[in-house]
């Protein structure tokens, strides 16, 4: 009886397994049928070794320009041979394909000559690389969208000349699956540029819509029920320069939901730093500041919360890797996925071609690994044993490689002490797509709670005797993440969520300006306490001094009321009227909430597009023009009061007597006093303040000139208040404070 029962269970189990496999195969076949053609959802079957390992190339921010032909010529000379040597499964070009700027960098609109050059260069690169054109995916960046009124229109040169456009990939989302025998790798690219392409500088942010986010969500969810799957997304804008949708959804929330391995992007260029990378982790703190900023590259330290049960939800985390630019840095990135382990190497072609490139694929660099999921995989023994039992590296070379050596160093003694040196063996495969080298090791000997105790370096030597050595990189077998800090410039562009901070900064600045105008006025009228120069000198209080300066400003009514009215003007009226489309047409106007422009058919209005992009105009004007001008006017008024006080003290007259004197008699009184004459002849503080006023006016006029060029405006017609109010206000303040 028991034997019969066991046989019955085995039969049932076999039937269930067969049904599950059949269901999975049917699902995969349906996916391939649904996505086999066109620009999105393609399935690329990878043939040949190395098994369960794929690699792709990323390029970004090419900025081909008629004013800088070297960018295109270097790309043609260097990229084709490099791609031929690397032989990637995909080539991702993440935006800003052309520059779209004038020689002085102030006028920004589409230039068809640059697009024709891009098309010609890419055809040449594809031919020289001997790669299939279908594996190239290029995306639209903000420069590719300057002044484009509508996608698909006559000025949408991206749709006409780009690879995606010529291959019929018209959607905003394109996905592709790279499939090996054991693993699937999903790549989802998307275009989040604004629907109406404003010219710069107010075209700086990505604007994912709710429809776009829903489409990305669908693509990332589509393959969840297949064999082991690695998800990677690519776009142009970093998340720090991506706005939320109208419903408040964000790309970050979407990527956390799907536990992406990495998000690849561009946009920022290497002038801000070479470590523009950021780790995102789901935070359960209600009052978390991470909505506004993140202080370190690694969001939070790893906290063990082991859940090894079957069907446990994936760890909600991902890496964001901005790669730099081709424009000046001649940068290229290779990303490899080795049995789910994602690694990368960033290259610079500024010095010319690369003879040999080495990309370690395991162990991972502990500075850029998803620590929580890596720790969980290790602790729960989810990892595939072969993926941990060897050190592995891809080696690309124009010449045959004769030896590859791996070295492991221990930093615990306080200096690098080599604890392992081994010759790496090449994986031989007649149909190999690339050269993979590996060396066996006892990985458990390198378990350590410190993520930067052990360091890895690999050296390859070719048949010509040329040696190439990788940089030292820390690793952690048990998934601990090494701390890596940003420079202040890197934090400024990657750690600050500018789209979220725009309105808090804007209203804080406005409230502060109203506060410093109204509170001193109220104290002057209703308070019995006097804030004077004598009180300030006696008490030496900073607050007393500031209130005194601002109260002196209140004593020049035209200036005080002028600043107050100007603030209301900035809140209630358009700042300027500008040309927003490359081909001319109707003008739009900009407020602190964005641009209001007519659609291409001139029937409908787009309400407040370009927000928070307008912050690059609004915040500098408020913080670095209006606010300093307010304090300068107050300082001029305060200097006049001090000068008046000194004149009275030197002439021995009371203030009432002084007020009864006319200018001529007063001049006669202190001309007889040598000390008074000396005091009046100096006023060096006033001279310094006038120089500062001139510098502020010069800076303001330079900003106005940039806006004139960008939006084809006449300052007398299209933005007279913005252009001339502050300079006239300062000039009037200088005039009114000339005499005591």
Q: What is the pLDDT of residue 29?
A: 41
Cα distance between residue 522 and residue 535, in whole Å = 19
Q: 3-class SS at 373?
A: helix
**For residue 589, is pLDDT > 50?**
yes
Cβ distance 724 to 566 under 8 Å? Answer: no
The bridge status of strand 425-426 relative to strand 136-138 is unpaired
pLDDT tens-place string over residues 640-653? 988 888 887 777 65
Query: Minimum mean pLDDT among 272-276, 314-318, 577-581: which range?
Result: 314-318
Integer-rounded Cα Rg, in Å, for the chain is: 33
Cα separations in angstroms, 708 against 108, 626, 714: 12, 20, 7
595 is written with which tokens? 């641009």
Q: Is the dihedral of CA 205, 211, 217, 221 positive or negative?
A: negative
Q: What is the pLDDT of residue 672?
A: 46
**For residue 167, is pLDDT > 60?**
yes
Cα separations in angstroms, 323 against 264, 270, 331, 631: 7, 8, 8, 42
Cβ contacts of residue 696 below 8 Å, gap of 6+? 625, 628, 629, 632, 726, 730
Cα–Cα–Cα angle for 440, 442, 444, rounded to 5 degrees: 145
Q: What is the pLDDT of residue 533?
A: 77
Average pLDDT over residues 17-40: 41
**For residue 43, is pLDDT > 50?**
yes
pLDDT tens-place string over residues 658-714? 455 444 444 444 444 455 444 445 789 999 999 999 999 999 999 999 999 999 999
Nearest CA-CA partner of 680 in 663, 694, 695, 692: 663
Q: Percent of the chain scored above 90 by pLDDT?
A: 64
**For residue 639, is pLDDT > 80?**
yes
Query: Minimum mean pLDDT among 6-10, 539-543, 624-628: which range?
Result: 6-10
pLDDT tens-place string over residues 432-467? 788 999 999 999 899 888 888 999 999 999 999 999
Cα distance between residue 705 and residue 713, in whole Å = 9
Q: Which tops the pLDDT comparison, 342 or 305?
A: 342
Q: What is the pTM of this model?
A: 0.88
Cα separations in angstroms, 187 against 34, 47, 109, 365, 630: 16, 18, 31, 22, 52
Q: What is the pLDDT of residue 39?
A: 43
The bridge status of strand 229-234 relative to strand 90-93 is unpaired
Q: What is the pLDDT of residue 503?
A: 96
Q: Which tops the pLDDT comparison, 315 or 10?
A: 315
pLDDT tens-place string over residues 196-218? 899 999 999 999 999 999 999 99
H or E stretch at 645: helix 627-651
Cα separations in angstroms, 357 against 89, 395, 466: 17, 6, 12
Mean pLDDT of the chain: 85
Nearest CA-CA partner of 279 in 263, 303, 292, 258: 263
736 is written with which tokens? 């009114």
Q: Which tops the pLDDT comparison, 121 or 226?
A: 121
Cα distance between residue 324 and residue 321, in whole Å = 9
**For residue 531, is pLDDT > 90?**
no
Give the pLDDT band (50/70/90) at residue 9: very low
What b/e string do you get for 333-345 counting C-beta neighbours within 10 Å, with b at 16 or more?
bbbbbbbbbbbbb
DSSP states of 61-107 = ---BBTTBHHHHHHHHHHHHHHHHHH--SEEEE-S--B--B-TTS--
**For residue 576, is pLDDT > 60?**
yes
Cα distance between residue 235 and residue 202, in whole Å = 19
Q: What is the pLDDT of residue 381?
A: 56
Average pLDDT over residues 629-647: 91
Q: What is the pLDDT of residue 369?
A: 83
Give the pLDDT band (50/70/90) at residue 302: very low
Q: How many residues does the chain have?
A: 740
Q: What is the pLDDT of residue 701?
A: 97
Q: What is the pLDDT of residue 22?
A: 41
What structural domains and CATH numbers belong to the chain?
A: 40-300+319-494 (3.60.21.10), 501-736 (no CATH)
pLDDT tens-place string over residues 262-299? 999 999 999 999 899 999 988 766 556 678 888 888 76
The bridge status of strand 401-410 relative to strand 417-423 is antiparallel
pLDDT tens-place string over residues 467-489? 999 999 999 988 888 888 899 99
């Amino acid at each position: 009886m028991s034997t019969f029962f066991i046989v019955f269970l085995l039969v049932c189990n076999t039937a269930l397994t067969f049904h599950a496999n059949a269901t999975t195969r049917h699902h995969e076949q349906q996916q391939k049928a649904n996505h086999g053609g066109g620009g999105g959802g393609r399935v690329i079957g990878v043939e040949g070794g190395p098994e369960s390992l794929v690699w792709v190339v990323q390029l970004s921010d090419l900025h081909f320009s008629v004013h800088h032909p070297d960018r295109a010529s270097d790309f043609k000379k260097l990229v084709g041979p490099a791609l031929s040597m690397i032989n990637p499964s995909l080539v991702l070009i993440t935006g800003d394909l052309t520059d779209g700027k004038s020689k002085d960098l102030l006028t920004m609109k589409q230039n068809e000559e640059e697009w024709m050059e891009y098309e010609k260069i890419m055809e040449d690169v594809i031919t020289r690389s001997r790669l299939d054109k279908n594996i190239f995916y290029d995306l639209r960046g903000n420069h590719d969208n300057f002044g484009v009124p509508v996608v698909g229109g006559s000025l949408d040169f991206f749709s006409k000349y780009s690879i995606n456009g010529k291959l019929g990939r018209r959607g905003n989302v394109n996905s592709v699956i790279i499939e090996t025998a054991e693993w699937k790798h999903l790549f989802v690219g998307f275009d989040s540029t604004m629907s109406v392409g404003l010219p710069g500088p107010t075209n700086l942010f990505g604007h994912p819509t709710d429809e776009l986010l829903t489409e990305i969500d669908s693509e990332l969810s589509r393959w969840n029920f297949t064999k082991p799957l690695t998800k990677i997304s690519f776009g142009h804008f970093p998340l720090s320069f991506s706005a939320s949708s109208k419903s408040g959804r964000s790309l970050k929330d979407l990527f956390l939901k799907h536990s992406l391995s990495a998000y690849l992007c561009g946009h920022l260029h290497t002038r801000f730093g070479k470590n523009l990378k950021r780790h995102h982790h789901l935070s359960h703190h209600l009052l978390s500041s991470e909505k506004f900023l993140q202080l370190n590259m690694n969001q939070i330290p790893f906290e063990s919360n082991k859940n090894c049960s079957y069907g446990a939800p994936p760890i909600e985390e991902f890496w964001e890797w901005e790669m730099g630019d081709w424009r000046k840095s001649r940068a290229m990135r290779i990303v490899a996925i080795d049995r789910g382990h994602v690694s990368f190497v960033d290259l610079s072609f500024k010095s010319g071609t690369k003879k040999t490139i080495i990309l370690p694929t395991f162990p991972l660099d502990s500075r850029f690994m998803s620590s929580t999921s890596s720790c969980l995989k290790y602790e729960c023994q989810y990892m595939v044993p072969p993926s941990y039992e060897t050190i592995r590296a891809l080696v690309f070379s124009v010449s045959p490689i004769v030896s590859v050596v791996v070295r492991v160093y221990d930093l615990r003694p306080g200096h690098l002490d080599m604890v392992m040196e081994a010759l790496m063996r090449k994986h031989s495969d007649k149909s190999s797509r690339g050269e993979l080298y590996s060396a066996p090791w006892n990985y458990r000997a390198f378990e350590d709670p410190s993520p930067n105790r052990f360091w890895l370096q690999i050296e390859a030597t070719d048949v010509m005797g040329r040696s190439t050595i990788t940089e030292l990189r820390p690793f952690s077998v048990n998934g601990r993440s090494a701390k890596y800090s940003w420079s202040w410039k890197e934090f400024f562009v990657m750690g600050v969520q500018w789209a979220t901070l725009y309105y808090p900064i804007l209203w804080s600045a406005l409230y502060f300006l109203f506060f410093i105008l109204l509170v001193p006025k109220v104290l002057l009228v209703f308070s019995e306490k006097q804030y004077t120069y004598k009180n300030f000198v006696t008490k030496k209080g900073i607050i007393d001094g500031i209130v005194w300066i601002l109260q002196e400003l209140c004593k020049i009514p035209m200036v005080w009321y002028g600043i107050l009215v100007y603030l209301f003007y900035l809140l209630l009226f358009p700042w300027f009227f500008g040309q927003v489309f490359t081909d001319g047409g109707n003008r739009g106007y900009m407020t602190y909430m964005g641009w209001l422009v007519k659609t291409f058919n001139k029937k409908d209005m787009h309400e407040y597009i370009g927000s928070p992009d307008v912050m690059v105009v609004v915040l500098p004007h408020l913080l670095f023009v209006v606010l300093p001008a307010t304090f300068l006017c107050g300082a001029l008024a305060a200097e006049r009061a001090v000068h008046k006080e000194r004149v009275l003290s030197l002439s021995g007259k009371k203030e009432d007597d002084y007020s009864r004197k006319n200018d001529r008699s007063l001049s006669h009184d202190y001309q007889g006093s040598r000390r008074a004459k000396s005091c009046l002849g100096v006023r060096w503080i006033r001279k310094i303040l006038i120089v500062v006023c001139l510098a502020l006016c010069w800076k303001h006029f330079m900003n106005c000139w940039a806006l004139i060029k960008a939006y084809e405006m006449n300052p007398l017609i299209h933005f007279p208040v913005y252009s001339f109010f502050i300079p006239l206000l300062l000039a009037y303040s200088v005039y009114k404070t000339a005499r005591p």
